[in-house]
Chains A and B, each alone.
Chain A
Amino acid sequence: MAVFPAHLHADPAWRGRLIACALAVVVVWPMLVVSEFKPWLLWDWQSLSATGRFLSDFLVPAHGAEFLQMLLRETWQTVAIATAGLTLALLGAIPATLIINEKLSISALGTGRMRLPARLLRQGVRWLLVLLRSVPELVWALLFVRIIGLGPTAGVLAIALTYCGMLGKVYAEILESSDSHATDTLMANGSGRLGALLYGALPESASELMSYTVYRWECAIRGSVVMGFVGAGGLGQRMDESMKMLAGAEVSSMLLVFVALVALADLFSKILRRRLG
């Protein structure tokens, strides 16, 4: 058996790893202190019993007739907030997509270079989309609740603004990353930007666009629930109230409704994708 040579004994990576670990501890520790990370509070007897009571309520979801009626009404409102917000977002996102899509440039045709005004317009709209989606929907919702008061309108506007930024960006990227041969040929043969989009790029990526839109609708439902906590209406607002009253049974029913809504969105997306194949 070969003897392990002594000078190879020290692993050259070992010291670096040790220092990295030490550094990580030095950096992370103050963060834990600042963020008041005290997990042992969870095992305190008082909080354990409160948690226990709250969770045991979950086993039998609330199902009184009056409660179910309220639940149905609020669910409908949540779906309406998400759908209305997404529709408004689409009204802004579709034109923005058409503007920022770099494949659909007539001035770049044959020269490979866009005119300066076209480039500036694209960059401007890009920045606008960045601005819209960099502010979280919750922040928009807080802002609108201050301006127009409590209620679903704030939620709808918040979703519309944030999602307009997201949809515009992702739509443009989906369209740009699809095969551009059909679009390029249509434009080289003299059709306009919109014609080339409708007959070239759209059939290439219709099902990706559809599945992303349905997924965003699902996100909008979740988003509207979170925004309900700051008073923007819908199921979220009710859930906030039930949470504060520690009514586990009600919270449990509401969570079941969320699961059902997300499953519904999933099914819907599956059917649409199969249709567009």
Chain B
Amino acid sequence: MEKLRLFENIADTTFDNGLKAICLKKPGAPVVSVQVWYKTGSANERDGIRGISHFFEHMMFRGSKNVGPEEHARRINDVGGHYNAFTAEDVTAYINAVPREHLDMVLSLESDRMNDLVINDKVLETERRVIVEEFQTYLNNPLTKAFLEFRKEFFKGRAYEYSALGRMEDIRTVSVGDCMDYYRRWYAPDNALIVVVGDIDSCESVFNRINRCFGSRPACGADFSAPAAEPPARRPLWMKRDVDFDVPMCIVGYPAPPASDRDALPLEILQLVVSQGESSRMHREIVRRRSLAVMAGGMNQSLKRAGMSLFFAVFTPNVPQRRVEDALVAQVEAVRTGGISPLEMEKVKNTVLTNRVYELYSADHISQKLAYAESIEGDYRHWVRRLSELESLDVNALTGAALRNWDESARHTLYLKPKKVNPLLFAMGLARRLMPRR
């Protein structure tokens, strides 16, 4: 663990206006990553403005008091840097990375759009057209379209029912007034986090510079306390969609706890054992030994108020869907009742450590992880301490987490059935299944 001492260079502070800053000095490449995360996303929207958070992801590049339209992006390009932004259920994040000597420029750009964003009809109408295009791009992919329907059902009646894309009828009618209200309410320093990672002089110097840029904007003063966890729906659902996608696919989803819950880490470990890599249980059993699927995998989506554990298999048309679904469920059941072995636990530790080591080579990755842990899990130290938490975790505790969360009676299943079956794919699948097994 010697090299992970990079974390000794980490510091945080909260300014008078409530803005929190986290800073990590990372010597090496002469670059710096600056990320500003606002703790608002699609979960903070109401009917009539579904998708407005995503509008802001776009409009934040369309100019502010001292920065012209797209000038933010252009100025970062001009020094060889890169930028991005994304909208999720709980956050809207703005990502910048520049050569280290341009840190002040990025801070100034970010503070200008936090303080004085330009919101008018012209900007809104142009971005509305762009967002409609983006929405259509997603819907023109049958797999994405079906999955959006699936997650809508999974979180039905709760804060996460709508994805960050929102609702087309709302996207078409969101007004300048709606945007102004949303901006004043959520784009406030006391609802934001700034993370700076890279080849800097010192964290203290960075905090002073942040304070100079962002300190003038007063706190909003609204209640930004973390929302309560939402109980999962305890009902099963089975969905089938006939799609223009030539590969059958089965997805099963189980309730998972909020990211800050004590069960989140155990479920992450179980997910790795069950679904990640060629030595995972699902790959060995479903893909290799039984040849039911071409590939199998899974992921946990950990959000602020709830979560979802997904497992999927892609298979050939000759295999009955029911067998694939049963095989996926059996793997989940096996860890629910039997837990994992010490050898599997050791593999997880090595995998997590390797992933962590490689994350630490990149200022962008470190920023992203710190910002996520602070904004979604409630404390960036969770990410910093993840390896030691893993070391101290009792293998037997994992079963309890699975039993508490991966509730079979709440399982949601999505079957994507191709409208058209390719005969060659069918034949290849059949040939594979008829071959002798090792």
Do A and B truly interact?
A: no
Give residues in A with beta carbon < 8 Å to B.
none
